[in-house]
Amino acid sequence: MKNIGIIISALVIFISVSCINRQNASDTNNVSGELKIIHAGSMSVPVKLISNDFMEKYPDIKILTEAWGSKAGARRITDLNQDCDVYISADYKIIDELLIPEYADWTIKFAGNEMAIVYTDNSKYSEIINSDNWYEVLFYDDVIFARSDPDSDPCGYRAVIVAELAEEFYNIHGYKSKILTSHLNYIRPKETDLIAFLEQGEVDYIFLYRSVAEQHQLNYIKLPDEINLRNPDYDSLYAKASVEVNGKKPGEKITEYGEAMVYGITIPRTAKNKKAALEFVKFFLSYETGQKIIEDQGQTSLVPTVSSSYDNVPEVLQKFCQPMELNAEK
């Protein structure tokens, strides 16, 4: 009888383990097919690392990624009807302004960053530039600097906002106008396009996110919080600066005001692989997986933070954000 009891117990354990393994296998197999991601250029390294980990967990998934300036990326969805299962923007407002409500229902904010002046050891005056004189060095006669296109890329309009804030902070009349009218032939659609110019010595300095500079082992000047768009405590100051950019419709203009930079993610309404998209966004926003990688790559995780579209966020993702009214009560 004792032996029979042992045998029965062993069978129960074996069956239970088999069921769990089959369930896990089933969960993994349910996430399959192609997953198409359009993301900000500044997210290229983190998205690649997170995607590799995700595909290791879900071997039946193939992730296809495209890097764009965030505005240009959004227009791939709105103007060109391009397939996209997950959209990741360097500015959450682009989702709110260009995608919601026709092309998306919600936004989750997930990370911060900051602007910097980026250079290499071969940049002219690299041996003397610092946080006290960078704004002067940029306009030395033999110095060339570059920025991305404000109509395509948040880094582009943030560069202009930084110039306006610097004009006020350092009391330099007309600094924003000088930035806007200088070296226009080096403007490119997204900020990461500028790195090749810098590394090849075609330009000396670029306006770029600190995280991207660190990922590419580039030198950078850390700007004061009053200028760098990093610190939400300075939002009232940042908001005094603005830039006009193209809006949702051809010929339409909207004004972008300065604020601490916040990245956003969503699943477009037209996503073809919504099951995989939900699993990826959950993986991306979880600290143990995606957010840890994002912090390791130089950005600050903001999860969870308030979402104005919280009620539309899929239930499985609501733990990664907060409703507006909850934030107001605090």
User: In this structure, what DSSP letter does residue 99 have?
Assistant: I
Residue 324 has what pLDDT?
A: 84
Q: Which of 273, 277, 264, 272 is nearest to 320 (CA)?
A: 264
Q: Are the C-beta atoms of 40 and 154 separated by less than 8 Å?
A: yes
Q: What is the pLDDT along the chain (330 residues), one digit of tens a residue?
A: 555 555 555 444 444 444 444 444 434 558 999 999 999 999 999 999 999 999 999 999 999 999 999 999 999 999 999 999 999 999 999 999 999 999 999 999 999 999 999 999 999 999 999 999 999 999 999 999 999 999 999 999 999 999 999 999 999 999 999 999 999 999 999 999 999 999 999 999 999 999 999 999 999 999 999 999 999 999 999 999 999 999 888 889 999 999 999 999 999 999 999 999 999 999 999 999 999 999 999 999 999 999 999 999 999 999 999 998 755 544
Give the N- to C-terminal CA distance of the chain in Å, as an integer.
64
Measured distance CA(322)–CA(275) in Å, rounded: 23
- How do the domains of the chain map onto residue ranges? 31-112+261-329, 115-257
Amino acid (1-letter code) at residue 88: I
Q: What is the mean pLDDT of the chain?
A: 92
- CATH number of this structure's domain 115-257: 3.40.190.10
- CATH number of this structure's domain 31-112+261-329: 3.40.190.10
Indicate if 115-257 has the same CATH topology as 31-112+261-329: yes
Residue 23 has what pLDDT?
A: 42
User: Which tokens in the block code for residue 94?
Assistant: 């682009």
Q: Mark 9-37 as b/e (b = at least 16 C-beta within 10 Å).
A: eeeeeeeeeeeeeeeeeeeeeebeeebbb
Which residue is associated with the tokens 């060095």?
137
Residue 307 has what pLDDT?
A: 96
Q: Are the C-beta atoms of 213 and 297 separated by less than 8 Å?
A: no
Q: Are the C-beta atoms of 224 and 169 separated by less than 8 Å?
A: yes
